[in-house]
Chains A and B, each alone.
Chain A
Amino acid sequence: MATGPTTGTDGRPAAPTGTARRRLAMGALLVLAVGWSITGLEVTVDRLLGAPGDAWDIFRRMFPPAFAEAAERGVVGKVFESVHIAWIGTLIGALASLPLAFLAAGNVAPVWVRVPVRQMFNVIRAVPELILAMILIPITGLGPWAGALAIGVHSIGTLGKWATEAIEGIDEGPLEAVAATGGRWASSMRWGVLPQILPVVTSQWLFRFEINVRASAVLGMIGAGGVGSELVSQLVFRNFPAVGAVLLMTIVVVLAIDTVSAALRRRIIRGAGRAPGDVVGGDRNAAVLVDLTGIGR
């Protein structure tokens, strides 16, 4: 063999040079990072060894779950209250974010509009729902409205960002067509952009709804309505069978909503009875959505 890759003594290609040293450096960096981090976490050997046992102990005591007791306390209603909060929050976020996304997209908005709008999305996304709810509770009072509003505001950030990406991924042809008929900015958005992004954006809303159901369950823990308050109060009383019931009911509802919503999203993006690869709304938009579907929160 005159040309081709360098070969070792046994005729195999030689391993690429330099990777071993780089790997070692990466490994050492990781070990250092973990070592340093563990020093800050009050870890002792017996705590570390005892933790799985403690967690298992609590898990075991949740069985059998006290469904009757939980139902009597109205937990079913609380779980559905979480769903209502998530729905209203998602709607607020969706309705507010869609027009804003048009102002943030690079291909349809001028720089001086799009930079501030995008920064606003970033700032909103950086504030967790729980913190928003904390700020809102003194204003709206304890209860589900604070939760719905917190989720709504937070959703504006993510939904706005995703919708912006969808708009930036459109086919520019229809935009040109509207411009050629003499249409104004508003009509080119309505007829050139909206029909293209609507399937993707609808699926984004559904996906955000799935995330928001989990978020609204958590919001109950600080008194913003929903099932979280039940979990906290049952844990305070160390009534573990009831905790088990609350958890199981939440899991069932969350899984049910995830399943239905995922099926709807697939139907919206791929249409009925189409081949899996056959995508409506442009390939790039589909890629954006695929990116989102795996994300857990």
Chain B
Amino acid sequence: MNGPTIAARPTRPRPGARTWVVVGVLITYTVFAGRQVGFDISTFWNVWSNPLWEKFWPVPWDWVLDWHNVLDPLLETFQIAVVATLVGCGLALPLAFTMSPLTSPNRPTMIVSRSVMNVVRAVPDLFWAKLLVTAVGIGAFAGSWALSVFSLAVMVKLFSETVDGADPRPLEAARATGGRHLPVIRTGVLPTVLPEYVAYGLYVFELNIRASVVLGLVGAGGIGRVIEAQRQYFRFDRVLGILLLVFVVVIVIEQVSVAVRRRLV
């Protein structure tokens, strides 16, 4: 009889030398990084017995559900997110087309726009906020600028990848009729990628709602400003109330956006 007999089990594969080296390096780095950040396992137990937690309760709902205190800044947060999404996504539409080899007018344009956008995306969102607060002054205006830049960077990345994957045949057909660059894109690519564009736009809006909550921590307006102020007074009960409210708003927006996106794509 051919084939393996029951008695002879195949030997278990053993990890090679390279695996051990990689594991060793990772463990060493983890121990080193843990020391650097002051890893302290006792925090996981001590955190629960901290007297600070008492300050979180009870939530003063009549203070939280007040237009002047919370709801107006929350509305401002929402407005920042709306403007930033529309500005960012609006600018992203033409820019994304220059970034994809399929639709870019020429190679240098593509390389330049790709590298610039990579650098823009490498700067964290709140760094943008802080820089723009310094540039144009404290307030929601700086916040909407910062979030516009960040939505542009995210949107361009997501959408240009969609354009990369678009069906090239309509594009070829449009080119074959002798169309110029812009009309060719407008008729050959845009209709096929538009549903994704809108879906990503909604997704970016969700991201912006989440991000605009913390913008206020660096002076860029919105509900974060109130959170920061109440934290400085150690009014964690109010902070918790605001967070719960924000949580509800975020969940509602997310559910609506997910439902719309599911219909689109």
Which A residues lie at the B interface, using CB under 8 A? 30, 33-34, 36-43, 47, 50-51, 54-55, 57-58, 81, 83-85, 87-88, 91, 122-123, 126-128, 130-131, 134-136, 138-140, 143-145, 147-149, 214-215, 217-218, 221-222, 225, 228, 231-232, 235, 238, 243, 247, 250-251, 254-255, 258, 294-297
Contact = CB atoms under 8 A, between A and B. Distances in A.
B218 interface: yes
22 contacts: A34-B82, A41-B221, A47-B136, A54-B136, A84-B36, A91-B30, A128-B210, A135-B236, A139-B52, A144-B36, A214-B122, A214-B124, A214-B125, A221-B126, A225-B37, A235-B131, A235-B134, A250-B123, A250-B124, A255-B119, A296-B121, A296-B154
Contacts of B218: 221, 232
A41 B80 contact: yes
Contacts, number: 175
B185 interface: no
Nearest to A33: B82
A268 B209 CA distance: 33
Given A88-B33, A250-B123, A145 B38 contact: yes
A128 B214 contact: yes
B210 to A, nearest CB: 7
Interface in B38-53: 38-40, 43, 46-47, 50, 52
A221 B130 contact: yes
A255 B118 CA distance: 8
A235 B122 contact: no
A229 to B, nearest CB: 11
B238 to A, nearest CB: 13
Contacts of A258: 122
Nearest to A147: B37
B98 interface: no
Centre residue among B30, B32, B79, B125 by max chain A CB count within 10 A: B79
A138 B233 CA distance: 13
B120 to A, nearest CB: 9
A239 B215 CA distance: 23
A235 B33 CA distance: 28
A149 B29 CA distance: 18
A297 B125 contact: yes
Contact of A30 (B52, B86, B123, B125): B86
Contacts of B78: 37
A238 B133 CA distance: 12
Contact of B251 (A33, A126, A232): A126
A51 B141 contact: yes
B141 A85 contact: no
A235 B130 contact: yes
B33 A87 contact: yes
A139 B47 contact: yes
Given A55-B132, A222-B217, A254-B122, A84 B243 contact: no
Contacts of A222: 217
B218 to A, nearest CB: 6
Nearest to B234: A138
Interface in B208-222: 210-211, 213-214, 217-218, 221
Nearest to A50: B136
Contacts of B46: 139
The 3 closest A-B pairs by CB, nearest first: A296-B154, A37-B79, A84-B33
A296 B153 contact: yes
Contact of A54 (B38, B135, B157): B135
Contact of A55 (B86, B126, B136): B136
Contacts of B38: 143-145
Given A81-B37, A130-B214, A42 B130 contact: no
A91 B30 CA distance: 9
A51 B149 CA distance: 13
Contacts of B104: none
Given A84-B36, A148-B39, A218 B124 contact: yes
Contact of A43 (B118, B141, B158, B217): B141
Interface string B145-171: 100001001100110010000000000
Given A40-B76, A144-B38, A231-B127, A131 B243 contact: yes
B231 interface: yes
Contacts of A218: 124-127
A297 B207 contact: yes
Contacts of A55: 131-132, 135-136, 145
